[in-house]
Amino acid sequence: MVPSTLRASPLHVVVLMPLRDDWTSAAELVRRLDQAISSFPCALNVLLIDDGSAQGCTSEDFQSDFAVVRTIRILRLRRNLGHQRAIAIGLTHIEQTTACDAVLVMDADGEDTPSGALELIRSFSDSGGTKAIFAERSRRVESIVFRAFYWLYKPLHRILTGLSVRVGNFSILPSAYLSTIVTLPEMWNHYAAAVFRSRLSFTTVPIPRGYRIAGTSQMNFVALVTHGLSAISVFGEVVGVRLLIGSLVGTLLATVGILVVVMVRFFTNQAIPGWATSAAGILAIILVQFITIATIFTFFMLSTRANLGFVPIRDYALFVAEVLDIYRRD
């Protein structure tokens, strides 16, 4: 990372916004963000990650009499990768090219609000810039169907990973964290989960979710399920161990069940004709299935530990098409 030489006030923050065709929302959000933070001693450099947009934008859309925004830059990707991978590439690009005190990660559609961004920056400044701060959603505005599946997903995530689902992308990171984050293969799947998995120090602040500025969300049901599974996959080793333990417990219970059936059949007069054979056969099938599952998870865990996968600092440049400056304050 390029070290910052400007550690005194104002706070130098890079705003990272992944987007795909949300240019209208992004332009308006940058203006609102500038207004919301204008009273705080802060200088903003905005980095828009163009995640394979079909529609282009013009620099005129982002011209304004900004108070704290100093530059706006577009990092174009060669193909659509999804928000999480766009964030991974954007953070690595910042680590390699930009001096700053912190990185503010937020969506470009307006659901991550300017007032929430100000709250994150204030909390970061008050904490001395020593830890990451994530927005914990105190209010959600999605559809009833989304919220229903979300409430079903939360206990599943808790059971498999041991962690509660509380946050999304909306967060602020100390620049010192970037040197660690850019080496995390888990960043390719899920940004927030990768930060949690890295054991970097973090905290949360309650911030309500806002509303889209323009257009409609491109996130469909399949994408939402994929996003949820990606978060769980970051904790693959933890999930594997928990499922392995569950399989072994199931194996033990099935074995005990078979022994009980045998004892009832040969040492008591309670067995119904044909019952013992059917019960023992069903339990034996269950036993074989649990043993198979345990074996699969064991080999899966061993193979994943030997696979390094995507490393942001090594591989990110493969997906960068170009970097464009569309606004620079004189």
HEC profile for 87-131?
HHHHHHHHHHHCCCCEEEECCCCCCCCHHHHHHHHHHHHHCCCCC
The CB-based long-range contact list for 243-250 (8 Å cut-off, 24+ gap) reads 243/160, 243/293, 243/297, 244/294, 244/297, 244/298, 244/301, 247/290, 247/291, 247/293, 247/294, 247/297, 248/290, 248/294, 250/286, 250/290, 250/293
HSE-CB at 214 with a 13 A cutoff on CA atoms is 12
User: According to the model, what pLDDT value does residue 35 have?
Assistant: 94
One DSSP character per residue, 212-230 reads: -SSS-----HHHHHHHHHH
User: According to the model, what pLDDT value does residue 2 have?
Assistant: 45
- Res 201 pLDDT > 70: yes
Provide the residue count of the chain.
330
Give the integer Cα–Cα distance in Å for 34 and 254.
Answer: 63
Is 160 exposed, middle or buried, given 0-12, 13-18 or 19+ CB atoms closer than 10 A? middle
In whole angstroms, how large is the CA radius of gyration of the chain? 25
Would the CA dihedral through 228, 162, 250, 298 be positive or negative? Answer: positive
Comparing CA positions, the residue from 99, 128, 119 lying closest to residue 33 is 119
Comparing CA positions, the residue from 169, 51, 43 lying closest to residue 116 is 169
Across residues 249-267, what is the average pLDDT? 85
- Res 271 pLDDT > 70: no
pLDDT digits (tens, 9 = 90+) for 128-177: 999 999 998 765 556 676 667 777 777 877 787 777 777 789 999 999 99
pLDDT digits (tens, 9 = 90+) for 171-183: 999 999 999 999 9
- Please, what is the average pLDDT of the chain? 85
The CATH topology of domain 11-218+312-328 is Spore Coat Polysaccharide Biosynthesis Protein SpsA; Chain A (3.90.550)
Q: Which of 46-60, 176-190, 230-244 has the lowest mean pLDDT?
A: 230-244
pLDDT digits (tens, 9 = 90+) for 182-199: 999 889 888 988 898 888
pLDDT digits (tens, 9 = 90+) for 88-129: 999 999 999 999 999 999 999 888 999 999 999 999 999 999
User: According to the model, what pLDDT value does residue 15 have?
Assistant: 97
- Res 282 pLDDT > 70: yes
User: According to the model, what pLDDT value does residue 213 have?
Assistant: 86
Given pLDDT bands bounded at 50, 70 and 90, which one contains residue 220? Answer: low
